[in-house]
Every structure is written in structure tokens, then in C-alpha cells.
Structure 1
Amino acid sequence: MPETPGPGTDRLMELLSVSLGAYYGDFTAAAAAEGLTASQGKTLSVLRRGPSAMRALATTLACDASNMTGIIDRLEKRALVRREPSPTDRRVKTVLLTAEGERTVDAIRAGMHTTLAGLEALPDADRGALEDLLERVFTAPARGGPTP
């Protein structure tokens, strides 16, 4: 029996767009509940993965380096991040998440009620499949796998 074709790329792109819009709306509201802009919340989330140089942060977040400086300045005033000179190049500043920054990222994630409810409603097998698919689509290119 011939296999039924799955959804086309256009349909998948549309579903991703809707999904990401809902996710970022939820994220933005949760960040605002912590007194942060979406950009500040995203910065903290990226730093959760580990310390980063200012320029690398700007690249990851697709923003101008001068804008990144302003974001980090505001986060530093709230003691959510700290800057340190790079051990290999003193001209480079590395940004690290503080314990309060970690707590804030946890609070943002806990405040994403719509996203959490949707993910928690999935059976374990579906969550595993979603994890596998997201890994394959979004991290495989970085490892030299297929490009999206």
C-alpha cells in the first residue's frame, strides 16, 4: 500500500510560525512578570547555557553589539549577570549568569503556563518524539547534519 505523504514544508513552516508565536507570547508575558523585557529574558536564557562573550551574545540574539551592551548594563544593575574579563583576552568581556539570574530564568519558565500546559498534556512517547524532531531540525545543522 502506498505511503500517504505527510504535510508539506509550507504547512510545517506555518505550524512552526504559529507555535513560535505562541511560545514567545507566553515567554514575553512571563519575562514581564519578572520585570524584564523579552530581550532581557532571552539573554538570561542564553546565558543559562553557559558564560558568553558580549559579541557572541549579540550574534546569538541577532542584535547590534551596542544594544547588547545596554541589555547587559540593565541586567547587571539588577544583579542578574556579571561581567568578567576573558582569561585569554582582557579586551573581551565574558558575561555570566548570577544565582539571582538563574532564579529569574526558573521563574520565567515556571510562568510560561500555556507552553507548560501544552507540553505536559503530551504523552511521554510524543514528548520523546518532539524532542527528537526538534534536535534533528534545529541542532543537526550545527553538527553537519541536514539543513532545515
Structure 2
Amino acid sequence: MAFPGLQHVAITVTDLERSTRWYTALFGAEPVLDEDEQDGRFHHTVFVLEGGQLFGLHTHQGRESGDAFDERRTGLDHVGFAVGSVAELEQWQARLDELGVEHGGVKRAGYGVGLSFRDPDNIALELFTGPE
């Protein structure tokens, strides 16, 4: 039996309103869900991405830290989004420039080509395609 692919990713953010605005601009789409869960102990906002995958933003009551994300700590390193070609990566680079999102430019490696950037909580994101 093959292991299934990812269906959704949910990240915890420090300021849900700020992150919702930022991801709405990045995705070019409004969230499909924005609600409290578990008696108000956490709130989530969910976007539907291409292919039906979901991307969620969470805030939790009583969270212990508002520290910025750091991929050097145990846990998530980054979230990668698939694109179909280097040309598409270059289009995304122009889109990030339009949005004022700092990025590392299109970088080539033996295993593929990527474009890395960060969200308002410093969470590392990447647009990626296979090798040229």
C-alpha cells in the first residue's frame, strides 16, 4: 500500500488577522473557513489550494510564546509548494516582488529549483520544481 500524499498543512501564527491578509494576497484567494474550534480554545482559517489541498492558519488560546518561527528548532523546517517549471518560478518571483515579499531569488540545485521566502511570522516557505 502506497503512503498517501499530503492533504493539508496547518501552521500556528501570532497574529491571525495579519497572516490572513498576507496569505490572502499571496494565494490570490479568500479563505473558505474562518471559525473557532473546541469551545474557542483555538481558531482556524483555511484556504483551498490547487488540487484540493488545504492550508490552515491557527491561533491557540493561552499559547506560551509569540516567538518568531525558527527552522533550527525541532519541528517544521519549511513548507514547499509545487510549481510546474522554472518559468513558473520566475513568474512567482515577479509576483512576490509585486507583493513586497522578500525572497532569495530562484536557486538551482541538483535535485531541483526553488524560490524561498518567509511569512510574517518568519515561517519558511518555498516554491519548488524538479531539476531542469
TM-score with structure 1 setting the length:
0.27
Which of structures 1 and 2 has the bigger CA Rg?
A: 1
Higher fraction of helix: 1
Higher fraction of strand: 2
TM-score with structure 2 setting the length:
0.29
